[in-house]
Amino acid sequence: MRALHWLLLALAALFAILQYRLWFGEGGDRSVARLQRQVQQQARENAGLQQRNDALAAEVEDLKSGEAAVEERARSELGMIKPGETFYRVVEPETSAAPRQGEAPPQSAPEPSATRR
């Protein structure tokens, strides 16, 4: 009877150790849940990067196949014009810098004197 008691106690201890490893150890439920969250986050990041790659691939294909895309890019980024075209630049008036009629121009702060002896 005494040996059976010790055997049951050893089996209970072994069961407790295995349960602890199952719930709290490496490969346990918490570890698996953490890894699943990381996989979901990485999948979202990959989806965003895939959209970016698709947009870049479409832009590359457009630049390779069409002259219009190259022309549009040269006009917008480099300010180029075709021969025979007239370039007009529209400059908006600065409202804060110009004094209104009857107002004094804005005063600038006096510069410190830099005299040395």
CB-CB contact of 9 with 3 (8 Å): no
Confidence label for 109 from pLDDT (cuts 50, 70 and 90): low
Q: Sketch the domain layout of the chain as residue ranges.
A: 35-80
Query: In this predicted model, what pLDDT tens digit does every residue of 21-60 receive, in sequence order?
Result: 777 777 777 888 889 999 999 999 999 999 999 999 998 8
Residues 100-111 have a mean pLDDT of: 57
CA dist list (Å): 28 to 17, 22, 109: 13, 5, 70
DSSP letters, 2-60, are HHHHHHHHHHHHHHHHHHHHHHHSTTSHHHHHHHHHHHHHHHHHHHHHHHHHHHHHHHH
The model's confidence at residue 1, banded by pLDDT at 50, 70 and 90, is confident
